[in-house]
Amino acid sequence: MTQVTNESAAQKQVFLADVVQGLSQPIKKLQCKYFYDERGSQLFDQICQLDEYYLTRTEQSIMDQFAGEIADQLGIGVMLVEFGSGSSTKTQVLLRHLNQPVAYVPLDISEEHLLKTAEGLRIQFPDIEILPVVADFTKGFTLPVSKKRPSHAAVFFPGSTIGNFEPDAAKSTLTLIAELLGQDGGLLIGIDLQKDPSIIHAAYNDASGVTEQFNLNLLHRVNNELGADFDIKQFEHLANYNEQLGRIEIYVVSKCNQVVTLGEHTFTFKTNERIFTEYSHKYTIEGFAKLAADSGFVLRKHWTDENQMFAVLHLVHQPIKN
């Protein structure tokens, strides 16, 4: 069973409205969730293989090394819900170690990629019910009902995806997770840690240009799905680390003065004008625990690699009672 929460014509209207609204701002912006159509998901998988992109292999190594301990923390008979599951690569070691898991719910906005991944997982894990949900995790959605009753649900949110949100939006997403989980629900989340800025900068400016393709894929999507006429060759990728705010800031930059048409709308670009596309916030463990505390989460345990590049945190929802 697959749960699709939005009908696609309605989704397209929302995409159009978001693009028009974003490009009409004094500082133009496009939301990073729109990176992920099938091509975007494939490009992201290629990014994960890059030498410069330490995030994926480091988080995977933490999962591989501590899967047993992490599974113990998550408990028996769980329904594991993964936010932004992508190719569910890091989940597999967890599914192998969990104690009598009842169901796995991969949740992603990138429908085609999610459904293909779910098919593969059904073959690999025939004893775990795989219940994909196509949804935007920043909006409300309901959990699917599994055949066997789980003892509880836990959310897995790897990939440093929470880092794409500014602090207030991150808190809203954590609050949504808290509401989904209820009292004592567990959240296992991957965060990228603050480190030498040159290492971070290289991760988002790879020599082979895959990150540039991924970033520009947003313009391809706007052309292909909404009928805009972006001349993609006339735009380029820019990613800078903002040391003060501890975050990567990613833009698409216009190489010349130009006009882009989208239906009845026209958008003018000056040479070097930017479209903001994504942040990736880098945290300390203490800083993230403080942020999550505002949504009622308490840090139970964390695991990191020997170079302290990345961390996986287990937090439990225990709101303060008035």
Ligand X SMILES: C[S@@+](CC[C@H](N)C(=O)[O-])C[C@H]1O[C@@H](n2cnc3c(N)ncnc32)[C@H](O)[C@@H]1O
**Contact residues for ligand X, defined by CB under 6 A:** 33, 36, 41, 44, 48, 56, 84-86, 90, 108-110, 136-138, 158-159, 161
For residues 276 and 31, give the distance between their C-alpha atoms in angstroms, rounded to a whole number.
8
Q: How far is the CB of 135 from ligand X (least distance, A)?
A: 6
Identity of the residue, 161 or 254, whose beta carbon is nearer to ligand X in the bound complex? 161
155-166 as b/e: b if 16+ CB within 10 A: bbbbbbbbbbbe
Long-range contacts of residues 314-317, Cβ cutoff 8 Å, at least 24 apart: 314/70, 314/73, 314/74, 314/186, 314/187, 314/188, 315/186, 315/187, 315/189, 315/289, 316/184, 316/185, 316/186, 316/187, 317/177, 317/178, 317/181, 317/182, 317/183, 317/184, 317/185, 317/186, 317/187
**Nearest partner of 66 among 305, 273, 267, judged by Cα:** 305
**Nearest partner of 58 among 213, 199, 237, judged by Cα:** 199
Identity of the residue, 138 or 223, whose beta carbon is nearer to ligand X in the bound complex? 138
For residues 24 and 21, give the distance between their C-alpha atoms in angstroms, rounded to a whole number.
5
For residues 258 and 269, give the distance between their C-alpha atoms in angstroms, rounded to a whole number.
5
Identity of the residue, 101 or 158, whose beta carbon is nearer to ligand X in the bound complex? 158
Q: How far is the CB of 27 from ligand X (least distance, A)?
A: 21
Q: How far is the CB of 116 from ligand X (least distance, A)?
A: 12
What is the distance in angstroms between the CA of the first residue and the CA of the last residue of the chain?
41
Identity of the residue, 260 or 312, whose beta carbon is nearer to ligand X in the bound complex? 312
Identity of the residue, 42 or 234, whose beta carbon is nearer to ligand X in the bound complex? 42
Identity of the residue numbered 213: Q
Q: How far is the CB of 185 from ligand X (least distance, A)?
A: 19
Identity of the residue, 121 or 260, whose beta carbon is nearer to ligand X in the bound complex? 121
Identity of the residue, 140 or 263, whose beta carbon is nearer to ligand X in the bound complex? 140
Q: How far is the CB of 171 from ligand X (least distance, A)?
A: 15
Q: How far is the CB of 155 from ligand X (least distance, A)?
A: 12
User: Helix and strand tally (H, E) in the chain?
Assistant: 9, 15
Identity of the residue, 78 or 135, whose beta carbon is nearer to ligand X in the bound complex? 135
3-state percent helix, strand, coil for the chain, nearest multiple of 5: 40, 25, 35
For residues 85 and 266, give the distance between their C-alpha atoms in angstroms, rounded to a whole number.
35
Q: How far is the CB of 196 from ligand X (least distance, A)?
A: 21
For residues 136 and 132, give the distance between their C-alpha atoms in angstroms, rounded to a whole number.
13
Q: How far is the CB of 170 from ligand X (least distance, A)?
A: 13
